[in-house]
Amino acid sequence: MMKLRSLLVACVLGAAIAGGATAANAQVYVQAAPPAPVYESVPVSPGSAYYWMPGHWRWNGYRYVWVRGHYAYRPYAGAIWRPGHWVYGPNGWYWREGHWARY
């Protein structure tokens, strides 16, 4: 009986974790187009191992809010940042995440 109960608890926890991961990765569609990007002056780099990540518009559930650009430490030599961007699809606008890539 105890093994069955432990198995049941493990299954419930596993389903909750999997459901949470799915909800966190769910695509959000916005009907209004994002505003034009905001011009930001790029400050002096803190070092050669840092890469400028430009600002972008983020949807907060009600409206677009600007997320300022910042420097990030490169995860490996030769890494470049491919910025995220808004894409228009059949269901509206959605955010495609940025990622690190090689030259």
| 103 residues of the chain, pLDDT tens digit each | 545 444 343 443 444 434 443 445 678 999 999 999 999 999 999 999 999 999 999 999 999 999 999 999 999 998 999 999 999 999 999 999 999 999 7
CA 23, 24, 29, 32 dihedral sign is positive
Task: Count Cα atoms within 13 angstroms, Cβ side, for 49.
Answer: 5
Q: What's residue 19's pLDDT?
A: 41
CA 70 – CA 85 distance, rounded (Å) = 16
**101, 80 contact by CB (below 8 A):** yes
Q: What's residue 27's pLDDT?
A: 87
Q: What's residue 3's pLDDT?
A: 52
